[in-house]
Amino acid sequence: MTDTLTIGGRSFASRLFLGTGKFRSNEEMAAAIAASGTEMVTVAMKRVDADDRDDDLLAHVRRPDIQLLPNTSGVRDADEAVFAATLAREAFGTPFVKLEIHPDPRHLLPDSVETLRATERLAADGFIVLPYCQADPTLCKRLEEAGAAAVMPLGAPIGTNMGLRTRDFLEIIIADAAVPVIIDAGIGAPSHAAAAMEMGASACLVNTAIAVAGNPVAMARAFADAVRCGREAYLAGLAQTGSVMQAEASSPLTAFLD
């Protein structure tokens, strides 16, 4: 059975997407990307200084089987996000954009109003827009109507590794969405990713939990397994959850010893 995820006309065999921040070195990052089997990798943007001598990040992540997903991190409103997205499309040659507008540096929570405005403008301009957003079912439908190619609701604030704190709302979003739902932010352990996939999420985007792990390459493999495992469980159809007050025997209860 083929189970591929399609976003913006491109198929993804892996449902694990990786961020490239916080790794100890570009070499370790490239090894973790390879170990994860991911086909979608985020990149941010920074200014080119006059005496720029940085290692070229793109050399480590640009491969035919990997879709670059530039983000708009650092912008404060829809105008800046649209500007950033057009810069990214020119620099990286892709219409894919992870739209993220989080003006508050303390919580890094997305600004829903500006995110919706920017999604409308970018989708109309031909971008494949993946907005990082609040786990708000109404907002996610509005983003979908505005032309988002997928929605990326958060499980918990960025970089906190707290898991699926928004779980109930994610369930509603997944149940109602007509576009892929990618759980972004807060996934701190493979078990969180597996839980998201069991709920029916289309994919998970993981960065901090892999990048700062004791062994990022091994952790990337663990996340890949968890995402695959959770997806397979979802497709298999999970058994219903019962009540602690009403056990259901799985063995025959007829006495056989007397």
Partner 1 sequence: MACTVCRLFNHIFTVIVMEVFINGQSHTTTSTTLGALLDERQLPPTGIAVGLNGRMVPRTQWAASPLSEGDKVVIIKAACGG
Q: Which residues are catalytic?
A: 98
**Residue among 138, 133, 203 at smallest CA distance from 173:** 138
Question: For partner 1, which stretch binds (CB under 8 A), given 3-11, 53-61, 189-197, 225-233?
Answer: 53-61
**Residue among 65, 158, 68, 77 at smallest CA distance from 57:** 68
d(CA 19, CA 62): 14
What's the closest the beta carbon of residue 116 comes to partner 1, in angstroms? 21
**Residue among 88, 107, 90, 91 at smallest CA distance from 99:** 88
| Of the residues 208, 216, 217, 231, which one makes contact with partner 1 according to CB under 8 A | 208
Terminal-to-terminal C-alpha distance of the chain: 49
Nearer to partner 1, 197 or 211 (CB): 211
In single-letter form, the type of residue at position 72 comes to T
Give the residue carrying structure tokens 């020119």: 90
- Does 58 bind partner 1 (CB under 8 A)? Our answer is yes
Give the residue carrying structure tokens 């219409």: 95
Question: For partner 1, which stretch binds (CB under 8 A), given 71-79, 134-142, 147-155, 169-177?
Answer: 71-79
Phi, psi of 96, deg, nearest 5: -70, 135
Nearer to partner 1, 88 or 183 (CB): 88
- Total residues binding partner 1 (CB under 8 A): 38
- Does 115 bind partner 1 (CB under 8 A)? Our answer is no
Site for partner 1 in 16-45 (CB under 8 A): 19-23, 26, 29, 42-45
d(CA 131, CA 110): 9
Give the residue carrying structure tokens 């029916």: 200
- Does 47 bind partner 1 (CB under 8 A)? Our answer is yes
d(CA 21, CA 120): 28
CA 158 to chain centre: 11
Question: For partner 1, which stretch binds (CB under 8 A), given 51-59, 133-141, 221-229, 241-249?
Answer: 51-59
- Does 91 bind partner 1 (CB under 8 A)? Our answer is yes
Nearer to partner 1, 31 or 57 (CB): 57
| Of the residues 50, 236, 239, 244, which one makes contact with partner 1 according to CB under 8 A | 50
Binding site for partner 1 (CB under 8 A): 19-23, 26, 29, 42-50, 52, 54, 56-58, 61, 70-71, 73, 79, 83, 86-92, 158, 205, 207-208
